[in-house]
Amino acid sequence: MAGKKKTANEGSSSRRTTQKANFEKAGVVVDQPIVETLEKNFMPYAMSVILSRAIPEIDGFKPSHRKLLYTMYKMGLLTGARTKSANVVGQTMRLNPHGDQAIYDTLVRLSRGNEALLHPYVDSKGNFGKAYSRDMDCAASRYTEVKLDPISAELFRDIDKDTVDFVDNYDNTMKEPTLFPVTFPTVLVNANVGIAVGMASAICPFNLAEVCEGAIALLKNPQADLTGILKAPDFPGGGFLIYQPEEMKKIYQTGRGSVRVRGRYSYDKSNNCIEITEIPPTATVEVIIDKVVDLIKAGKIREISDLRDETDLSGLKLTIDLKRGIDPDKLMQKLFRMTPLEDAFFCNFNILIGGAPRVIGVYDIYNEWIAFRQESVRRRVYFDLQKRREKLHLLRGLQCILVDIDKAVRIVRETQREEDVVPNLMVGFGIDQIQADYVAEIRLRHLNREYILERTKETENLEQEIADMEDIVSNKDRIRDIMIRELKEVAKKYGKPRKTMILFEEQQALAEEEEEIPDYPVHLFFTREGYFKKITPQSLRMSGEHKLKEGDAIAQTVESTNNAELLFFTDKCQVYKSRACEFEDTKTSVMGDYLPARLGMDEGELPVYMAVTGGEFPGYMVFVYENGKIAKVEMKSYATKTRRKKLLAAYSDKAPLTAALYLPQDSDLVLTSSGGRVLVLDTGELQPKATRDTQGVAVMSLKKNAVVAKAELLRPEQFENPQRYRPKSFPTQGSLLRPEDVEEQLSLMPEPGK
C-alpha cells in the first residue's frame, strides 16, 4: 500500500512540474521555418479543400452534394411524400458534420425552387430564394419541404449492385458512396462553381438532350466532332448566348474560355416600357438595378424615366419605363454594353480525376465519364451474374435431390437429430452445404411434378442468362450498347428544349451611336508593360510626371479624339479592338488601365503595339520581321461588320516581329540590321495585301546570324543624304553608315514616346 501511495505522489508531482513548465512557456514565441509551417499546417488544409470540398468529381458532384443526395435516397425520398428540410438536414449530419446551415445552403441550391440548376435534383415546396436575386433569402429549413426529383433516379440506378465503391463515414457507423453511378454525364448538365486553395472550378451547364447525343456520338465514334451536336452552353436563366466559334472550340479542347450571355427583353408599346424577363447567370436583379441607377446619376443614361423590380410568383421581371420618343432597341444595346445585362461566364473545367485535379476540355470530360460509366455497367452486370450463378448452383443441387425424392425423404425421416439433416443430405447426394441447406428448407407441398418441371426450366433460362452476361462482361462493345440505350432513354424521358437561345455574331451587331458619344481631343499613352491612359489636353497641361510601374516606360504617345478606334497588337499574333471612348479619362498621376486584364487577353499575352485609326480604317499596317521581310497589310482587313473585340492571325508568326507600324499613308522607313547596315525604303514600293497573316516580301538580305534589329519612320534630317541608303532593287544588304551620318545619329536625342 505504501508503494502504491508513493507512486501516486510521484505522478502528481510530475504533473505539477509539467504544468509549471507549460505556464512558464506561455506567450513565448518559438521560431519555426516557414517551410515546416506550410508542410504541417497549410498543405493538409489545402489538400482537404481541393479533394473534399470545392472541386467536383467525374460524376458531377462535390462531396457535400453527394452526402446530401445519398441521405435523401436512404430516407426513401425518391418516392412518396415530401418531408421537412430540417429532417433531411439532421439526417445528413450523419455523413456531413459541417453544420446544419452549410447543409441547408447546399440543399437550397439543388432545389427546383432556387432555379440555380438546369435540371434540379430536389423537388421542393416553399420559399427557397432565387439564384437571380441577391436579396431574396430562402425560408428556414423548418418551413420548407423536399423530396428527390424524378431525375435523381438516374443518379442512384443500381447503386446497390456494387457499381461504385463505398467507404466508411467520419465515425465508421455507416457506409457512403465515393461516386454516383450516374447514367448520363451530369458533370456537363448542371453548373458547378467552386473556389479551392490555389485553384478554382467553373463548369457551365449544357442541354441534357445535347449532352446525351454527344456521349452517344463519341461511343459510336471516338473521333466524332461535337460542334454540331453540343452546340453551346444552356443556362437555367435563359437569355441569349453570343456564339463565337473559336471560343467554343477552345472551351471544348482546353476547358478554358468564356461565353457571353445577354438578357432577354420585350417592348410593351402600350405602356412604353421594356420588360426584362431573363438575365445572364453571373448577374442578379439588384446588381443590374444598382448599375443602371449609377449610370443615370452620372448622366450617361437619360432615356429612362423609371426602373422597378416586378418579380413575382410568375418569375423574374424588371420593368424600365422610357421617356417619350426613345428607341427601345438602341437603349437596350447601350445597356448591354454598360451594365451586367450582358456578361461573360468564364469557364474553368477543373475536375477531380482519380483523386487529382485536372483542367480538361469537353472531349476529355466525355472520355473520362465514358470510362467511368463503362466500369460501373461492367460491375453491375458482374453483380447480377454472380447472383444468377449462386441461384443456378442452388437449383443444380435441387436437381440432384429431385432425381430421387423418395431417397431424400427417407434420409430426412431416418435422421434423429435436426442438425444432422444437412450433413446426411450432403453425403447422400454429393452436394455441398449451401445446396443442402436450400434443399432442406423446401416445403413438402413443392415435391410435385409441376414444381420439378418449373425448376428444370428455370435452370435452363439461368444458364442462358449467365452465358449472355459473361459475354457482356468480356465484351466492351456490348457494354457500349447498354450505355447508348440508357442514354437514349434519359434523353427521351428528361430532355427539354434549350432555355438559352444562340445568337450568332452576325445577328448581334451593336447599333452605332456616334451622336451620343462626346467627341473631344485626347492624348493616348501606351507603355511597354501594357498600360494605357487617356488624358485630355487640359488635364495634361495641369499634370506632372507620369506615374509608371517600376521599370516601365511610355512606348507610344498619340494625339487623337475620343471616338478613335484602337487596335492593340499582341505578342501572340492577335489583335484586340476597342475604342478610346470605352476608357475613362484619367490623369498622369495614375498608372492607367492594364490592357491584358481590361481586354480579357489570354494568359501570358502582352500587347506590343497600339494603332490609333478612324472609323473607316484608312492606311496600312506595316510589319517588319527579323528575317528581313516586310508585310504591308491594308488597315481595312481589321475592320469587321460586327463589333468583334478580338481577331486571330493579326500578323504572321513565321518569324519574330521587329516592329509594327501604322501608316495612314505611305512613308519612308529606316531598317537597321544587327550588323550595322541601314536601308531606307518607301512603303509605296510594297504591294499591299488583304490577308492579315501574309509573310511579306524579302527587303533586306542578312548575313548569317544577323537580324533586322530596328525599324522606324525616317525622321527629318536623320541622314545628310538619305538617297545613299535607298536601293535600286530588293532584296539588298543595305549600306554601312557614313561617318557624317554616324555623328548625326549620336547627336540626335531620342524623342519622347519613340
> Integer distance in angstroms from the first to the last C-alpha of the chain?
98
SS3 category, 700: strand
**Nearest-angstrom CA–CA distance, 134 and 663:** 50
Check: CB of residue 125 under 8 Å from CB of residue 139: no
* Partners of residue 84 on adjacent β-strands: 145
Q: Where are the beta strands (DSSP E) in 296-448?
A: 304-309, 318-322, 342-348, 350-353, 356-359
Gap between the Cα atoms of 426 and 432, Å rounded: 6
Give the three-class secondary structure for 278. strand
Q: Residue 184: which region, alpha, beta or left (left: phi > 0; alpha: psi -120 to 50)?
A: beta
Query: CA 380, CA 432: separation in Å to the nearest integer?
Result: 27
Instruction: Indicate the residue type of 437.
Output: D
In one-letter notation, the amino acid at residue 224 is A
485: helix, coil or strand?
helix
Are 740 and 724 in contact by the 8 Å Cβ rule? The answer is: no
As annotated, the active-site residues are 143
Residue 669 cell numbers, joined: 522607313
Contact between 477 and 414 (Cβ < 8 Å): no
CA atoms within 13 A on the CB side of 752: 5
Helix axis angle, 208-220 to 362-402, nearest 10°: 70
- Edge-to-edge strand list for the sheet holding 620-625: 657-663, 620-625, 629-634, 697-698
Among all chains, which residue has been given the C-alpha cell 419605363?
Answer: 321
Shortest CA distance to 658 belongs to which of 616, 614, 622? 622
Please give the Cα distance from 350 to 256 (Å, whole number): 9
Pairing relationship of beta strands 122-125 and 145-148 according to DSSP bridges: antiparallel
Cα angle at 623 between 676 and 604, to 5 degrees?
100
Among residues 557, 597, 574, 590, the alpha carbon closest in space to that of 752 is found at 557
Cell of 680: 531606307
Max CA distance (Å), the chain: 132
703 vs 731: CA distance, rounded Å? 12
Angstrom distance (rounded) from CA 418 to CA 430: 19
Q: What are phi and psi of 205, to 5 degrees?
A: -85, 150
Q: CB-hemisphere CA count at 13 Å for 510?
A: 18
Nearest to 726 by CA among 678, 694, 684: 678
Q: How far apart are CA 731 and CA 726, in angstroms?
A: 11
Strand blocks (E) in 228-349: 240-243, 256-262, 264-268, 273-278, 304-309, 318-322, 342-348
Residue 63 exposure: Cα atoms within 13 Å on the Cβ side: 20
Characterize the bridge pairing of strands 501-504 and 240-243: parallel
Q: Which of these, 339, 643, 389, lies nearest to 510 by C-alpha position? A: 643
